[in-house]
A and B are shown apart, each in its own frame.
Chain A
Amino acid sequence: MRPGIIGFAVALVLPVIPVKPVDAQRLAHVVAVDSGLVHGDARLLLTGAAERVEMAILGQSRQYSRAQAQLRLAQFFREYPPQTFVWTTEEVVAANWFATGRYQVSYEEEATLRIYAHWQQQHGVWKLSKVHVFR
């Protein structure tokens, strides 16, 4: 399923889902990140990202602008094309929401990377503020 269609479907379905607004927001974020990782779409992954995103991709963490983060992630997806992605943990603490998952690199069964995502809530809006990729 193409990422654009997924995003559209989410946008279409969300209004009719009988959930609280903040849960709908989180659901949209999860779907975006999940789809972005599964399809290797950096733009989709950073849909709900803040203006500055801390990213660590198999090394040091840096603060990137959203535009730069998108291109940096695109570079990562070129070097490590995705096969599958599975969420493993999730935790919400006050205005912080964390999640980790396992990212299977395409063609390399032994190459599994871990993904860490951190959203922060400001004025009721969740924004993706950190994405770490590590072994």
Chain B
Amino acid sequence: MARLHKAWRRWLSLCGLAVLLVLTWGAMQYHLHHLERTEPQAVEHVMRNAARTVAARFDVMQVVMHERAVALASDTMLAGALSGGHAASLVTLLLRERLPARWSATLYDGTGSVVAWSGATMPSDTVHSGSGLRWSVATDGEWRQALELWYPIQDTSGVIGQLRLVQLLYVRTPVQNEYLKDYHVADDWSRIAGIPVTAFFDEQQSPQGLYKLVARDGTIVGSFDLASLHLTQLLARVEQQYRSILSLWLTLLLCWVLWFCWRRYAAMRSWRWLGLFGFAWWVARFVLLWINVPGRWQTGKAPLSPLFDAAHMASTLGGGLMRSTGDFLISALFLLLFALVLLRFAFHRYGATLEVWRRFSPGQVVRVFVAMALGTGLVVLLSVVARRAVIDSTLNYLSREALLPEPLILIIFSALAVTALSVILVIAAMVRIALGPATPERQDHGKELLPYGAAALVCLGVVIAVVQAGFDLRWLVIIAFLGAGTAAVFVQVGTSLEWLSIRGVLFITLVVSILLYPLLHTGLGGRRQTRMEHAAVSFDRGYDPSVAFAVRDLLEEARTDSALVRVLFTGNGSAVQDAAVLGRQGALLSSQGAYDVDLQILHAGQSVPGAAVPDSAHLAAFLRHGDSLATVVRPAPDAESGQAYEGVAPVYAAGQHAGWIVAWVAPQVLPEDASTPLLRILLSSGYRDLYASLSLGSFRDGILRRSSGRSFRHYALDTKVADALHDAAAIWRVDTQGDRQYETYYLLRGDGHVVGVRAATVAMFDHLYYLLRLIVAGLMVGALFYLAGLALRRASGMLPAKQVRFQDKMLNAFLAMAIIAVIPVGIVGVRVVTEENTKAIQSWLRNHLQLVEVALAAEARADEPAYRALERVSVDSLAARVGLDINLYEGVQLVSSSRSRLVRDRLTDIRLPIQAYQALFLDGYKFTSVPQQLGSFNYTAGYHALLDEEGRPRYVLSVPTLPEQERIDEERARTLAYLFGALLALMILVMMTASLMASALSQPIARLQQGLRAVAQGRFERRLAIQSRDEVGQLVQTFNEMQHQLAESRRQLTQQERQLAWREMARQVAHEIKNPLTPMKLSLQHLQRSFLTYTQADSKRFADLFDRTTSTLVKEIDSLAHIANEFASFARMPSRIVERLDLVEVMREAATLMRAEADDRTLFDMQLPDGPLVVEADRKELKRIYINLLKNALEAMSEKRAGTITVRARRDGNFVHSAVSDTGCGIAPELREKIFAPSFSTKTSGAGLGLAIARRSIEALNGTIGFETREPGGTVFYIRLPLSS
């Protein structure tokens, strides 16, 4: 009934899912049809909802800001500090506030002066002073716009200050890369509303008739517009939503199908169902890819959306199995589960326990070869997967900025580790299937020479082929994988949940990571080489035609811009540096990188523009060239690098030539100048993808003309390289410079132009560093497996364990001890390294700032403080002198910078960071360092106060970037990696030591246990060897003595029992003999009397009497003879003929004989093995014993009901265990002790010696005989004999 109920539930759920699918599809069709019929209302409804959503989001933004302002302003400590003018307290209070990203806060006192601030500086036109709050939008040129809230801070006397909270709404960056990105709040609104939103916070730019953005005080701060929504677009959106729901039902349906197939397979465990399940499994995976599950539910949603973004990693390998990071991980998990199923099937079908065979059959050898070949193919495929995972990715696998790689790389590593583990398990499964079922030792070896010889020849051929092809690391990796898979068979990985214990997971993680690393490294090497080849082609363009094209594109777009054309008729050649124009029409140039663009508009005929334009003669010549009325772009002749461009395009109005647009374009950062991280982040991601970590050199006529990076230190091209390039257009070499080796690619580009690309080779410690990162990823995956294993083991009743091996206890104790020791060491080590790193950076900064002060002091006159020299020395020359970028603050305001571009682009704040202000101005420190952030790039800046005559900070020097920071951070990451590696090695060493110690301790205990077991079974012949001189050795010695005493006691007991038995037997003999003797005597006495009284008339009677008497005598004599024979059999001295015989055959013969005596209702169940079980015994005697047992079994079963007699035998180590069982009445408890006693019998006939004889015979063969009985139920007589050796 329960099964029926279960089956119904199963099919009901399937039907339910099908109904849901149909209903959802139907609802989708109806909804779409409804939308088509009510198009205008539907569109209007969606637009209205979107507008409401945007307005609501804007309102929420204001509510959050308002609440924060209220909380801050109502802080009584803040009000007290503000009214008392305690700047230090105000700064501390504001520093305590953890403002969200893109927020900033400023505190003003009652006079409108800034007293504390936090976050980026946003200019304000006026300082609010009213008692009410005020909402407005602050604008910082074309770079930033922000929503600002002015909130009054009041006490009992009234308004004592203002709090200004600012939240950025729009940020423009000079370049788009992984660190710097434009931000517009409208993008967030677009994502939430589902419709593109355009927001305007500048009233002048805001078109009419749009949705208004109203502040909470009623002020209109901006407006927004929604992209018009067409019906087809609306229908597509709605259809997309329904398809997401349909995908969910389809996913559940797939789960149902898989569950059904799994149940069938688990019940049948056949090849057919395995194949069906495997087919369904992979079809399900590809269906999930087709319906884009779960990626479709993550689009645009943090934090999982990057997992399914092809921009990070995407490969076409496998038909989509690796089309994103998340899909790769899911595919790896699918593969792992399938591999586990395959392995468990192999073990289930062919047995998990493998005996150590001495010989393999030819068939097994061939099958194993095939398995190895397939395994080799799998490993090769794994290497392809690892290579594609690296090459088809934009992630920086070799980044050394932190110990742990970024999350996406960790996930890819995890997926690769899971895939590698799956390959090992599949190889194990194939090997197990190839080996087939366990077979006993083969007897006939003579016919196997040919197959073994063939196998040996094939092996030799493979070795020769490998050597010819070049035995390199790949082959070692393949062999290692094949070895790991084969070993997994023998240690039964995957068949037991015990492998999911912490020790098992740790071991597997290490093995998989070590095996995977060479494959990963090969992929990384391949990617690096491809990059180097591409970089060589792209480098040294100097004049980049793609940039020139982008400049031309900018001019073409600009000259048709009506706004710009209007300028021509409103002014007299005013210079235009309209970045908004550039933003609209320089998008192609922006996508090439960060460029400075100067645009100028000139009237036609104006040959000489204003003095603001340099080199007017050159411009005039350019304009004359431009008289051809075509757009011209060319390299700027005064640019040293050849990477600046100038262009001119004619402008027409009403068909007439109205003027010119002139453009000068130069890169903001030349790649070869990007020697510091702060400048390198201004490069485009595409450029960094191409050139990061590479050094490039351009040689013309053998001389280095231009280089990027630090590795090309020789000015002349190596002659060997030059000679090699005569024969080949490109070569690879390993060059040594100093103590480092570099892999270098030289490309000949014609006309004696050679480009070299160089990258540092991976040193041994680097291998360790990257391997450790891979192990960390593996441990993360391992931790999840361990947790899953905990749950599974608990569910299956393995936890808490009923029995724990001593060895496991020891290992767990040592592991726990190691973890407890390692964790605090690790924590302390990380803190020490981090602190040392911070100190190193601070020390570096301090030293260099002191150098700057020394340089100033050298410039200052004898009677003036150092800061006075700033009036004469520019920051640029100071920076050039010390080789660092310098910012100069007067008070808290930035007044000068050696990188003014960063200030212009709002990448450097114009106000001193509050932490530096607190340290230098309030706390009185001369130097401080403050963590800074540029986009998402973190760095440390140092600040040094220059004091005035009164000892107060007058100026502050800042070193905003640290050339060595990268190197120091890399050293820190590397040190942490080595620390982690050392701790891991320590743990491994502890585990190995624990394993050895546990083994050394548990082995004698195990031997003792075996000895005790033997004693319990009555075997006293086994003496344990004493191998140690400690307490364990004493224990063994004591055991041996005990065993000896027990053996002696047993011998004495046996002797006594034997004597007792003989006495008993003699008594029985006497009793048995006496029985027939009495009637014999009486008969003879009667005959004697009859003879004495014999007369002629009694002759007939006498004859009858004589006949009866003699018959009786004969019968009694026969009985006496029978008794004598029986006792002779029992007491017979062993004169048996012992030979090697097959016990199974003997048992079969005995059963055949007794089957003839049994009736039809008695069933004989023969559970005998197919192969022989060879023992040494007397054939007849053994047969008689089994006949006796079978006879007893037959007689034990009642005549009135049918029964079963089971005859079975099996191998049990070095013994044979045989048994005869019946389903009879069983043996009563009071009789059980006498069952083997001679002459005991419950039968009416016989002398009761059968079992006694059997026992004697079995014991003579060094075996044992016994029984188990249940009343009623039956009895089992078992015999245990040693196998013939």
Contact in complex: B310, A71 (CB < 8 Å): yes
Proximity bits, A99-135, B CB within 8 Å = 1, else 0:
0100000111111001010101010000000101011
Cα separation A100 to B554 with both chains bound (whole Å): 12
Query: Within 8 Å of chain B (Cβ to Cβ): is A18?
Result: no
Query: Within 8 Å of chain A (Cβ to Cβ): is B155?
Result: no
Known: A60-B684, A100-B588, A111-B196. A94 touches B545 (CB 8 A): yes
Chain A residues within an 8 Å CB radius of B176:
56, 59-61
Contact in complex: A108, B196 (CB < 8 Å): yes
Stretch with Cβ within 8 A of A (4 or more), from B315-323, B456-464, B665-673, B1050-1058 = B315-323
Stretch with Cβ within 8 A of A (4 or more), from B389-397, B645-653, B707-715 = B389-397
Q: Contact check: which of A54, A68, A91, A111 meets B313 at CB < 8 Å? A: A68
The distance from the CB of A128 to the nearest CB of chain B, in whole angstroms, is 13
Proximity bits, A57-99, B CB within 8 Å = 1, else 0:
1011111110110111011000000000000010101101010
Cα separation A98 to B689 with both chains bound (whole Å): 22
Chain B residues within an 8 Å CB radius of A89:
553, 556
Query: Within 8 Å of chain B (Cβ to Cβ): is A26?
Result: no
The distance from the CB of B893 to the nearest CB of chain A, in whole angstroms, is 33
The distance from the CB of A55 to the nearest CB of chain B, in whole angstroms, is 8
Chain A residues within an 8 Å CB radius of B227:
108, 110-111
Contact in complex: B685, A67 (CB < 8 Å): no
Chain A residues within an 8 Å CB radius of B311:
57, 62, 72, 75
Chain A residues within an 8 Å CB radius of B317:
67
Proximity bits, B387-413, A CB within 8 Å = 1, else 0:
010011110000000000000000000
Query: Across the two chains, which residue of chain B brings its CB closest to A61?
Result: B686
Known: A67-B388, A68-B394. A134 touches B310 (CB 8 A): no
Chain A residues within an 8 Å CB radius of B313:
68
Cα separation A65 to B531 with both chains bound (whole Å): 10
Q: Contact check: which of A61, A75, A135 meets B310 at CB < 8 Å? A: A75
Q: Contact check: which of A61, A63, A74 meets B591 at CB < 8 Å? A: A61
Query: Across the two chains, which residue of chain A brings its CB closest to B299?
Result: A79
Query: Across the two chains, which residue of chain B brings its CB closest to A43?
Result: B316
Contact in complex: A91, B587 (CB < 8 Å): no
Contact in complex: B323, A71 (CB < 8 Å): yes
Q: Which of A28-65 contact B (CB under 8 A)?
A: 50-52, 54, 56-57, 59-65
Contact in complex: A116, B591 (CB < 8 Å): yes
Known: A60-B176, A93-B549, A107-B236. A114 touches B315 (CB 8 A): no
Interface residues on B, range: 35 or more
Cα separation A35 to B228 with both chains bound (whole Å): 27
Cα separation A52 to B530 with both chains bound (whole Å): 8
Chain A residues within an 8 Å CB radius of B964:
none
Query: Within 8 Å of chain A (Cβ to Cβ): is B1116?
Result: no
Known: A59-B176, A61-B685, A110-B228. A68 touches B587 (CB 8 A): no
Secondary structure class of chain A's binding surface, majority of residues: strand
Chain A residues within an 8 Å CB radius of B392:
64-65, 67-68
Cα separation A118 to B541 with both chains bound (whole Å): 15
Contact in complex: A93, B548 (CB < 8 Å): yes
Cα separation A107 to B981 with both chains bound (whole Å): 56
Contact in complex: A60, B178 (CB < 8 Å): yes
Query: Within 8 Å of chain A (Cβ to Cβ): is B952?
Result: no
The distance from the CB of B168 to the nearest CB of chain A, in whole angstroms, is 19
Q: Contact check: which of B546, B587, B689 meets A63 at CB < 8 Å? A: B689
Chain B residues within an 8 Å CB radius of A122:
537
Known: A62-B689, A91-B552, A96-B545. A74 touches B310 (CB 8 A): yes
Chain A residues within an 8 Å CB radius of B690:
54, 63
Proximity bits, B193-236, A CB within 8 Å = 1, else 0:
00010000000000000000000000000000001101011001
Cα separation A93 to B123 with both chains bound (whole Å): 46
A-B contact count (CB 8 A): 123
Query: Across the two chains, which residue of chain B brings its CB closest to A51?
Result: B530
Cα separation A52 to B537 with both chains bound (whole Å): 12
Contact in complex: A109, B388 (CB < 8 Å): no
Q: Contact check: which of B316, B588, B689 meets A71 at CB < 8 Å? A: B316
Query: Across the two chains, which residue of chain B brings its CB closest to A135?
Result: B587
Cα separation A126 to B531 with both chains bound (whole Å): 19
Chain A residues within an 8 Å CB radius of B68:
none
Chain B residues within an 8 Å CB radius of A71:
310, 314-316, 323-324
Q: Contact check: which of B233, B531, B556, B592 meets A107 at CB < 8 Å? A: B233
Cα separation A70 to B388 with both chains bound (whole Å): 14
Cα separation A43 to B1117 with both chains bound (whole Å): 110
Query: Within 8 Å of chain A (Cβ to Cβ): is B969?
Result: no
Chain A residues within an 8 Å CB radius of B552:
91
Chain B residues within an 8 Å CB radius of A107:
230, 232-233, 236
Cα separation A117 to B857 with both chains bound (whole Å): 56
Cα separation A64 to B310 with both chains bound (whole Å): 10
Q: Of residues B315, B388, B591, which shows the largest number of chain A Cβ atoms within 10 Å of its Cβ?
A: B591
Chain B residues within an 8 Å CB radius of A106:
232-233
Cα separation A93 to B534 with both chains bound (whole Å): 20
Chain A residues within an 8 Å CB radius of B233:
106-108
Contact in complex: A116, B588 (CB < 8 Å): yes
Cα separation A50 to B530 with both chains bound (whole Å): 11
Q: Contact check: which of A61, A70, A93, A116 meets B545 at CB < 8 Å? A: A93
Chain B residues within an 8 Å CB radius of A68:
310, 313-315, 392-394
Chain A residues within an 8 Å CB radius of B388:
67
Cα separation A65 to B530 with both chains bound (whole Å): 10
Chain A residues within an 8 Å CB radius of B376:
none
Contact in complex: A59, B534 (CB < 8 Å): no
Query: Within 8 Å of chain A (Cβ to Cβ): is B1218?
Result: no
Contact in complex: A52, B534 (CB < 8 Å): yes
Query: Across the two chains, which residue of chain B brings its CB closest to A99?
Result: B549
Query: Within 8 Å of chain A (Cβ to Cβ): is B961?
Result: no
Cα separation A65 to B689 with both chains bound (whole Å): 11
The distance from the CB of B668 to the nearest CB of chain A, in whole angstroms, is 15
Known: A65-B391, A111-B227. A100 touches B553 (CB 8 A): yes
The distance from the CB of B225 to the nearest CB of chain A, in whole angstroms, is 10
Contact in complex: B591, A67 (CB < 8 Å): no
Chain A residues within an 8 Å CB radius of B178:
60
The distance from the CB of A130 to the nearest CB of chain B, in whole angstroms, is 7
Query: Within 8 Å of chain A (Cβ to Cβ): is B106?
Result: no
Chain A residues within an 8 Å CB radius of B698:
none
The distance from the CB of A95 to the nearest CB of chain B, in whole angstroms, is 9
Contact in complex: A98, B587 (CB < 8 Å): no
Chain A residues within an 8 Å CB radius of B228:
109-110
Chain A residues within an 8 Å CB radius of B743:
none
The distance from the CB of A120 to the nearest CB of chain B, in whole angstroms, is 8
Cα separation A122 to B394 with both chains bound (whole Å): 25
Known: A61-B685, A62-B686, A67-B314. A91 touches B549 (CB 8 A): yes
Contact in complex: A64, B196 (CB < 8 Å): no
The distance from the CB of A50 to the nearest CB of chain B, in whole angstroms, is 8
Cα separation A74 to B292 with both chains bound (whole Å): 13
Chain B residues within an 8 Å CB radius of A109:
228, 230
The distance from the CB of B388 to the nearest CB of chain A, in whole angstroms, is 7
Q: Of residues A67, A108, A114, which shows the largest number of chain B Cβ atoms within 10 Å of its Cβ?
A: A67
Query: Across the two chains, which residue of chain B brings its CB closest to A98?
Result: B549
The distance from the CB of B515 to the nearest CB of chain A, in whole angstroms, is 25
Chain B residues within an 8 Å CB radius of A135:
587
The distance from the CB of B898 to the nearest CB of chain A, in whole angstroms, is 27
Q: Contact check: which of A52, A60, A75, A114 meets B588 at CB < 8 Å? A: A114
Chain A residues within an 8 Å CB radius of B553:
89, 100, 116
Q: List 5 A-B contacts (CB under 8 A).
A: A60-B181, A62-B394, A65-B530, A107-B230, A120-B537
For the complex of A and B, the 4 pairs showing the least CB-CB separation, nearest first, are A61-B686, A107-B233, A63-B689, A71-B314
New A-B contacts (14) at CB < 8 Å, excluding given A62-B689, A65-B530, A75-B311: A56-B686, A60-B178, A64-B392, A68-B310, A96-B549, A98-B546, A98-B549, A107-B233, A108-B233, A109-B230, A111-B196, A116-B588, A132-B591, A134-B590
A binding-site residues for B, Cβ under 8 Å: 50-52, 54, 56-57, 59-65, 67-68, 70-72, 74-75, 89, 91, 93-94, 96, 98, 100, 106-111, 114, 116, 118, 120, 122, 130, 132, 134-135
